[in-house]
């Protein structure tokens, strides 16, 4: 579940506040007024509150009010569905006011099947769209997540299809093949897949026009200012990039000769490392170095091993080291 560290801190605080203050006086939580939280920065803060507050909703309903437009609603939808599996039913009014009923208690669901992270899968989907076999030939098959996943980031499949990927799937699998080539540039509102949109930014290197990604202001407040980071690293590869407060334009290198070899700085950001690995498929055959590849351990420790298991380097490109 997302933002587990922040949620854990809140849960520990909520359940131990009285013990910490036992030597003076018991801590008192004021729940009479709604808890107000901004929704236009990151949905992770709301997710953490939704996970922690059922522990203190013992005597009265607890209300959360979202200030501003709530971004990344699909992530909150996942949180609400999982909370329901654990016996916590949260009501919401048009994603602006959330109510946790008095007497809410966590209950074990017994068995819970944990599917693959569809956000991490997006990088493999992109690899299939860029380097996978043409339609009718062998592509990349992924098991453990399906086309009907409850995860909001599964909608990356729609974006990849819009760029030309040929994707089929079932309840627990996806298969990706290269479709249109070069890929098609898109102009897309990415509020529903803000993190996965980083993968689209690198796919744009292989598109036939200018790709515009909009409504991605949350990139500015992630592990790094991701808009600035992506701008810097894409330019190293030969792309032209224009950035704004909440949008991002990528114009790919005009010809294979305009691509440049690059050493990609990852900013200790796992998403940057994974999405820029896709630049290794560049038509110029130029080397791409990923600095600090171990930063992927945060979400996908064996990402590069998984990638190497489905791609091969032509023998002529393998250096001989004496």
Q: Which of 2, 16, 99, 110 is nearest to 47 (CA)?
A: 2
Look at residue 276 and give its three-state secondary structure. helix
Q: Which of 40, 153, 195, 269 is catalytic?
A: 195
> Hey, what are 276's tokens?
């820029």
Q: H/E element holding 290? A: strand 288-290
> Hey, what are 261's tokens?
């070899």
Q: H/E element holding 176? A: strand 173-177
Q: Would you call 268 a catalytic residue per the annotation?
A: no
Question: DSSP states of 27-88 as a string?
Answer: -----SSPEEEESSS-THHHHHHHHHGGGT-SSS-EEEEEESPPP-HHHHHHHHHHHHHTT-
Catalytic residues: 195
């Amino acid at each position: 579940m997302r933002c587990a560290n922040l949620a854990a801190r809140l849960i520990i605080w909520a359940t131990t506040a009285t013990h910490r203050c036992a030597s003076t006086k018991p801590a008192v939580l004021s729940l009479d007024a709604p808890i107000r939280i901004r929704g236009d920065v990151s949905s992770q803060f709301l997710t953490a509150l939704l996970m922690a507050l059922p522990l203190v909703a013992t005597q009265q309903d607890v209300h959360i009010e979202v200030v501003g437009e709530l971004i990344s609603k699909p992530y909150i939808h996942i949180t609400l569905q999982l909370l329901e599996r654990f016996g916590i039913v949260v009501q919401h009014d048009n994603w602006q006011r959330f109510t946790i009923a008095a007497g809410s208690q966590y209950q074990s669901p017994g068995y819970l099947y944990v599917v693959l992270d569809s956000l991490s899968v997006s990088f493999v989907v992109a690899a299939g769209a860029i380097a996978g076999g043409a339609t009718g030939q062998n592509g990349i098959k992924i098991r453990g997540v399906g086309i009907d996943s409850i995860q909001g980031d599964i909608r990356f499949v729609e974006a990849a299809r819009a760029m030309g990927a040929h994707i089929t799937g079932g309840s627990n699998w996806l298969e990706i093949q290269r479709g249109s080539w070069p890929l098609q540039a898109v102009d897309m509102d990415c509020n529903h897949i803000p993190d996965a949109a980083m993968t689209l930014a690198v796919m744009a290197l292989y598109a036939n026009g200018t790709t515009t990604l909009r409504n991605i202001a949350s990139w500015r407040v992630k592990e790094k200012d991701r808009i600035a980071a992506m701008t810097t690293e894409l330019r190293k590869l030969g792309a032209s990039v224009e950035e704004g407060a909440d949008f991002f334009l990528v114009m790919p290198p005009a010809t294979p000769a305009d691509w440049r070899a690059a050493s990609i700085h990852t900013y200790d950001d796992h998403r940057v490392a994974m999405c820029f690995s896709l630049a290794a498929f560049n038509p110029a055959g130029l080397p791409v170095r990923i600095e600090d590849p171990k930063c992927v351990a945060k979400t996908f420790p064996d990402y590069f091993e998984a990638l190497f298991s489905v791609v091969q380097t032509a023998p002529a490109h393998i250096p001989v080291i004496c």
